[in-house]
Chain A
Amino acid sequence: MVDMNLNRLRAWPAYIVFLVMTASFLICPALCWSEYDYVDINNPFLRKIPIAIPLFKTMAKSRSEKRLSEKASDLLSETLEFTGYFKMLDRDAFLVDPEKFNITALNINFQNWTSIGAELLITGSLLVKKDIIDIELRLYDTFKSKLLVGKRYRGWINDQRKMIRRFCNDVIFCLTGKRGIFDSKIAFISTGSGNKEIYICEFDGYNPIQKTHNNNITLSPAWSCDGKWIAYTAYKKGRPDLYIEHLEEKRGFVVKKKGVNITPAWVPGKFALAATLSFSGDPEIYMLTGTGKIIKKLTNKWGIDVSPSWSPDGKKMAFVSNRSGTPQIYIMDIASGNVKRLTFQGRYNTSPSWSPNGDKIAYCGAEDGEFNIYIISVDGNDPLQLTFNEGDNESPSWSPDGNLIAFSSSREGPCRIYVMSAYGTDQRSLLALPGEQTNPRWSPGIVSN
């Protein structure tokens, strides 16, 4: 599976022609978007939906095909489980022999599934011809005996992961009315090569790739809102300069003013970003064009002003300032320039990350020398601690659907990337790599690849 990405890249032109993911609505499902009540949006992680995903059926009985089916059904399970919405039912508890049971609604005895507690059922079948794979996937509501989503995909075997992901996006859209996160990526800093460099992996930690080879110190990756550009700070020329680079094409811009050029954050919907520059002798946040030219100075207060994070509508900016004597989070209304302090608890609150839903800000707060992740309403109410007594926890970053938060933690010794629900539940390690991993930044929902 590891070399899949390369193959996919090589096969790219053919891939378009080939209509790889012919997501045909062959099995026309009931109109799904009227049924968002499956997942409780207020706290989807309180009660997980029990779901059964039996092994996909294969037409041929070849061993390789069977292994492929196993891999595909496991991948589907893991991908959906990652969201935190579902409770995966143990396949050993299933009453139906996957070899024998039929995968279409007409022939499914839903009682076999409701009796083991499954509220949802996903059946699949898989057909391999040479390098081409056909996958049929169906999501059923077992209590209503109803088909919710039915799709068929055709493509290269190597694109199997992509097909499964696309189906998962459809499942999540059907159940929540929101787009899934399965096309998103996570950028982070890793010291695996001996230096801090930017790596990018898929939403679930799969396929981490080293993106920069600067051989010095590289920090603070920031995704543009279309996912095509990344801005970061690096000491390529011995000083902390700001680099703005296109992820696919070899082009970019540099901001290399005297002092620091740090903490970039792209303005939603625009080719522009906010960043802290200290050429004036004091670190202030400026608005820059995507090409690195100063549009205007946003903050104007002696002391430190860093780490901007934009509201989803781009009208407000959260940032860190020590204007009160300790680092605290403030919110600036861009049109009026008005600034109001958001955090009052504790003497060290940094790393604001504005939620994609717009109502909350995640941040890192220190109490008694321990750093933990908190969220707070944008009106300053209900600060809520999400991590407890497990090393230092820093750099929160929201998933594009606002359901998950990636962060770094030293709970197992070296710093690694972890993911949890927006309520602090389901905390787990995202990936295992040599060195230390910090500073995760979740991409927007759609990333070119």
Chain B
Amino acid sequence: MRKKLWIGLVLLLVIPGLLCIASCAKKAVKPDTVEVQAEAARKAAAKEKLARQQAIEKQAAREKMFARNMFINENIHFDFDKYNLLPLAQQILQRKAEWLRNNPDVSVIIEGHCDERGTNEYNLALGDRRAESAKTYLINLGIAGSRLTTISYGEELPVDSGHNEVAWAKNRRAHFTIE
């Protein structure tokens, strides 16, 4: 009888002990899960960082593209029958020079254009002078002349086909394209 009691006692102790061991074994797994979670968090953080970085890069690329488009799209304008650079044109050219300094591998074509008034032939020469004015200004700002080519289109390629002062003012321009 007593023996049975002992066995019962032992069992009573051992089984929870075993249970305990078993649960302890389970507990040994638990810290592993935490690490996984941390890892995941780390990864997420890295991913986020990467994404942020990518976003920054994207933004930078966008800004770069924007600057490039700005460089191409922003024309400088002239007065009728003139090829001297107006103050606004000089500001724009300074921005263009900066962009050219930041993009030293790029060569550009400077197109000189006129409005429709006056003689085609004279306007071809006038467009040439306008493009040359812009080129000289950029050279004076330190841009290598070898990176700058000029083409005169005279009055042949208007951006605005209107026959009024608004259209003419738009058409009297130097336009930049990237080679």
**Is A145's CB within 8 Å of the partner chain B?**
no
Q: How far is the CB of A439 from chain B (nearest CB, A)?
A: 7
Least Cβ–Cβ distance between A323 and chain B, in angstroms: 13
Contact between chains at B122 and A304 (CB < 8 Å): yes
B169 located at the interface, meaning its Cβ lies under 8 Å from any Cβ of chain A in the complex: no
A interface residues with partner B (beta carbon < 8 Å): 196, 217, 219-220, 233, 238-240, 259-260, 262-263, 276, 278, 281-283, 303-307, 320, 322, 326-327, 348, 350-351, 364, 366, 369, 371, 392, 394-395, 438-439
Q: In the assembled complex, which residues on chain A have CB atoms less than 8 Å from the CB atom of B154? A: 219, 240
Having A219-B154, A239-B151, A260-B125, one finds 18 other A-B pairs with CB under 8 Å, namely A219-B124, A220-B120, A240-B151, A259-B132, A259-B152, A260-B128, A262-B125, A263-B124, A283-B129, A306-B125, A307-B121, A320-B119, A322-B81, A327-B81, A348-B81, A350-B118, A369-B117, A394-B119
**Chain B residues whose CB sits within 8 angstroms of the CB of A371 once the complex forms:** 117-118
Write out the residue numbers on chain B whose beta carbons fall within 8 Å of the beta carbon of A439: 120
B152 x A276 contact (CB < 8 A): no
Complex Cα–Cα for A372 and B124 (A):
20
Q: Which residue of B lies closest to A263 (CB)?
A: B121
Asked if B119 and A350 sit within 8 Å, CB to CB, the answer is yes
Is the pair B120, A238 in contact by a Cβ cutoff of 8 Å?
A: no
Given known contacts A238-B151, A259-B150, A326 and B81 CB-to-CB distance under 8 angstroms: yes
Tell me which of B117, B120, B121, B128 contacts A259 (CB under 8 A): B128
Do A395 and B125 have beta carbons less than 8 Å apart?
Answer: no
Main secondary structure of the interface of A (DSSP, over half): strand
- Bound-complex Cα distance A219 to B154 (A): 11
Smallest CB–CB gap between A18 and chain B, Å?
Answer: 44
Given known A263-B121, A326-B81, A350-B118, contact A304–B126 (CB-CB < 8 A): yes
Give residues in B with beta carbon < 8 Å to A.
81, 117-122, 124-126, 128-129, 132, 150-154, 156
Bound: A304/B121 CA distance, A = 11
Which residues on A sit within 8 Å (CB–CB) of B151?
Answer: 238-240
Residues on B with beta carbons closer than 8 Å to the beta carbon of A263: 121, 124-125
- Contacting pair B122 A320 (CB below 8 A): yes
Task: List 27 interface pairs A-B (beta carbons < 8 Å), by A numbering.
Answer: A196-B156, A219-B120, A233-B124, A259-B150, A260-B124, A263-B121, A263-B124, A263-B125, A276-B125, A281-B132, A282-B132, A283-B129, A304-B122, A304-B125, A304-B126, A305-B125, A307-B119, A307-B121, A326-B81, A327-B122, A350-B118, A350-B122, A364-B119, A371-B117, A392-B117, A394-B119, A438-B120
Pick the contact of A217 from B81, B117, B121, B156 — CB < 8 Å?
A: B156
CA–CA, A196 and B81, complex, Å: 23
Q: Are A395 and B129 in contact (CB under 8 A)?
A: no
In the complex, the chain A residue whose C-beta lies closest to that of B120 is A219
The interface residues of chain A lying within 8 Å CB-to-CB of B152 are: 240, 259-260, 278
Q: Which residues of A contact B125 (CB under 8 A)?
A: 260, 262-263, 276, 278, 283, 304-306
Chain B residue with the shortest CB-CB distance to A283: B125
Complex contacts, B126 vs chain A, CB 8 Å? 304
> Are A283's CB and B128's CB within 8 A?
yes
Q: Can you name the residue of chain A whose Cβ is closest to the Cβ of B165?
A: A369
Nearest 6 Cβ contacts at the A-B interface: A350-B119, A283-B125, A304-B125, A306-B125, A263-B121, A260-B128
- B contact residues around A366 at 8 Å (CB): 117-118
A305 to B126, CA, bound (A): 10
Q: Quick one: given A259-B128, A283-B129, are A306 and B122 in contact (CB under 8 Å)?
A: yes
Complex Cα spacing A196 to B129, Å = 23
B81, B121, B126, B132, most chain A CB atoms within 10 A: B121
- Other-chain contact of B121, A262, A282, A369 (Cβ < 8 Å): A262
In the complex, chain A residues whose CB is within 8 Å of the CB of B128: 259-260, 278, 283
> Which residues of B have CB within 8 Å of A281?
132
Please, how many angstroms separate the alpha-carbon atoms of A259 and B150 in the complex?
7
CB <8 Å contact, B124 and A306: yes
Which residues of chain A have C-beta atoms less than 8 A from B81's C-beta?
322, 326-327, 348
Chain B nearest CB from A357 CB (Å) reads 24
B145 to A, closest residue via Cβ: A281
- Neighbouring A residues of B132 by C-beta, 8 Å: 259, 278, 281-282
User: How many angstroms from the CA of A303 to the CA of B129 in the assembled complex?
Assistant: 8
- Bound state CA distance, A326 and B81, in angstroms? 8
Write the chain B residue with the least CB distance to A326: B81
